[in-house]
Amino acid sequence: MNDNALHIDLDVLETEPAAEYHGKAKDFLSSHQLLDFMKCPWLYHKKRTGLMADQDSSAYLVGRATHCRILEGRDVYESEFALGGPINPSTGRPFGSNTKAFREWADIQGKPVLSNDQIDLIENMASGISMNDEAVDLLLYGRAEGVMRTDYCGLPCQIRLDWLHPHRGIVDLKTCDDLTWFEADARRYRYMNQLAFYQAVLAKVIGIQVPVHIVAIEKKEPYRCGVWRLTPVSLAIAQVSNQAAIERLMACRQTDHWPTGYEDIRMLEGS
């Protein structure tokens, strides 16, 4: 489909706080749950039943904050995150994030806290994106963090899109250590499966499969930004893989059997 001929009604997406969306994970299959299952059914089961908690590491915090700053704007970013920290009166500079004064300040904020170093990193990534004309064009118009729920392959599913452009489709924002190796990272983390899931769930509601793009930004100098469009053939292959995984998931639920995927002896060959 020609992007210029595409028009998506952005009102098909719901507005919902992230905490509320994630709180409904027990009732709806998400892309991250599906990827957990594809990696290891036992991992999926442990997370779903509360036997294993997701770790909210510093990297994930910065990732969430970066999405908020770039996609939702500075006002939302500053309302969702506590920025900076207290100033040391003897130096006129902010206390370090490892100091007692900073920890005491962070404890009373009531929202996630970003240190000055993290703030600088996020601003540098935002500047990096602004230097890529294709990324700017994709993120110029659209809707951030929109939610959709529907049945897909026999299961209730939910998606939360980073960005939906009315004429250019789904846009997913990724941060990475080194843009040179991003395509290898995309295969390692199954981004194709994740975005094929988004595309398929959206198509169930609007009746068409829309283009899918990734905007990737480095988390270090020189903060390069790249844009990829996922090919229709690759997305179609990933959708078949997703559908097969959902069938296996339904079978595991019926039998309450959750293998690791490594029960059998495997053959290891030398180089």
For residue 216, what is the domain's CATH number?
3.90.320.10
74 part of a folded domain: no
* Phi then psi dihedrals of residue 49, to 5 deg: -90, 0
63 part of a folded domain: no
User: Residue 142 and residue 70: Cα distance in Å, rounded?
Assistant: 13
C-alpha distances out from residue 73 to 77, 98, 225, 267, Å:
6, 28, 18, 51
84 part of a folded domain: no
User: Residue 44 and residue 125: Cα distance in Å, rounded?
Assistant: 32
Q: Which domain holds residue 193?
A: 3-53+132-255
85 part of a folded domain: no
122 part of a folded domain: no
pLDDT reported for residue 95? 85
pLDDT reported for residue 94? 85
236 part of a folded domain: yes
User: Residue 260 and residue 256: Cα distance in Å, rounded?
Assistant: 13
User: Residue 38 and residue 22: Cα distance in Å, rounded?
Assistant: 20
203 part of a folded domain: yes
* Identity of the residue numbered 33: Q
Complete edge-to-edge strand list for the sheet that includes strand 143-152: 143-152, 155-165, 169-176, 212-218, 225-229
Containing 260, the helix (H) or strand (E) segment is: none
Q: DSSP alpha helices (H): ranges in 131-188?
A: 133-138, 182-188
pLDDT reported for residue 55? 67
Residue 136, burial from CB neighbour count under 10 angstroms (0-12, 13-18, 19+): middle
pLDDT reported for residue 3? 67
Structure tokens belonging to residue 207: 């009746």
> Taking every pair of C-alpha atoms in the chain, what is the biggest distance, in angstroms?
65
Structure tokens belonging to residue 62: 């910065």
pLDDT by residue for the chain (271 residues), tens only, comes to 556 689 999 999 999 999 999 999 999 999 999 999 999 999 999 999 988 877 666 778 999 999 999 999 999 999 999 998 888 888 888 888 889 988 889 899 999 999 889 999 999 999 999 999 999 999 999 999 999 999 999 999 999 999 999 999 999 999 999 999 999 999 999 999 999 999 999 999 999 999 999 999 999 999 999 999 999 999 999 999 999 999 999 999 999 999 999 999 999 998 7
Q: What is the 3-state secondary structure (H, E, C) of 80-128?
A: HCEECCCEECCCCEECCCCCHHHHHHHHCCCCCEECHHHHHHHHHHHHH
Structurally, the chain folds into a number of domains equal to 1
User: Residue 189 and residue 162: Cα distance in Å, rounded?
Assistant: 17
100 part of a folded domain: no
CA 40 to chain centre: 20
User: Residue 94 and residue 13: Cα distance in Å, rounded?
Assistant: 40
* Identity of the residue numbered 20: E
Residue with tokens 């292959």: 237
pLDDT reported for residue 4? 64
